[in-house]
Amino acid sequence: MFRKNDQDKIHHINIKRGITSHFARMLKILQQKHVQQSDGDEFVYSNDESNNLCNALEAVFLHGLKESVTTKLSSYVGLATPQDSTVYLNFWAVAEKFTHKNVITHLQSLRQISTEIGLCRAWIRLALNDGLMESYLHSVVVDQKSLKYFYHSYSYLRDMEQPGILSNYLTGLMSLTFQLSLNSSVLNDWNNSTLQLISSLASAPPPVVRAVPP
């Protein structure tokens, strides 16, 4: 009979493998659709397939994220109140650390983006548009000090295998040119598919953290 720690370990291994598998499936669909296009349009726009690809990448950065990091950051910048210190988990602090200031300023200037969740989701899409997602992933994974600060040991990004497998899949993105929408209020909340990928769907929606004004 498994101990609880063993069950938790297996649970998170399955989640991480599921995230990678979901990304691989969505990438294959996008590649096939791109090859089959007969209208000559070389770009990948925001649609169900590309959104599902983004959901998987969002799950990569969310899985195993330390809740205390988000809480401390939000309290410091005045986003959480003493009466409501539980904030909606997001990886904006991670994105900020590994992103050029000009890019951060651009994201914070998007008028329709009003939450840190929105900033996270816009960041994923901009990284795909700019062809930088593989570079970002590598930068995060090799920075062990930051990884340990932001993420639990069981997280996707601290896994011994999955980030490398994902990196190989990200190489396949080079055949695609993305033009995904960034400035949309729809991005201000997590998509249920993202939360399902990390098994974090709650019975009631948690509070939304407002973004820092540019």
pLDDT at position 200 is: 58
- Please say whether the structural domain 4-197 has been given the CATH code 3.40.50.1820: no
What is the reported pLDDT for 208? 45
User: Crossing angle of helices 162-171/4-36, nearest 10°?
Assistant: 0
Distance (Å) of CA 181 to CA 60, 167, 185, 207: 20, 23, 11, 25
pLDDT of residue 76: 41
Q: Which residue has the tokens 């989640």?
A: 15
The whole-number pLDDT of residue 86 equals 31
Written as one string, the DSSP assignment of 151-213 is B-TTSSTT-SSHHHHHHHHHHGGGG-EEE---S-GGGGS--HHHHHHTT---SSPPPPPBPPP
Report pLDDT for 210.
47
Task: Name the pTM for this structure.
Answer: 0.85
> Which residues, 6 or more positions from 177, have their beta carbon under 8 angstroms from its beta carbon?
42, 43, 44
Question: What was the pLDDT predicted at 105?
Answer: 98
DSSP 62-104: HTTB-HHHHHHHHHHTT-SBTTB-------HHHHHHTS-HHHH
Residue 5 is predicted with a pLDDT of: 80
What phi, psi does 198 have (nearest 5°)? -105, 10
Let me know: does 125 contact 52? Beta carbons within 8 Å: no
* Residue range 51-76, pLDDT digits in tens: 999 999 999 999 999 986 665 444 44
Q: Which residues of the chain have pLDDT under 50?
A: 1, 72-87, 202-210, 212-214
pLDDT given at position 99: 98
Determine the pLDDT at residue 81: 35
**Summary count for the chain: helices (H), strands (E):** 10, 2
Identify which of 18, 20, 32, 46 has the alpha carbon closest to the alpha carbon of residue 137. Answer: 20
CA angle 168, 174, 176 (to 5 degrees): 125
Domain regions of the chain by residue span: 4-197
Tell me, what's the pLDDT at 70?
Answer: 60
10 Å Cβ neighbour count for 81? 10
Give the separation between CA 110 and CA 127, rounded to whole angstroms. 15
Res 207: pLDDT: 39
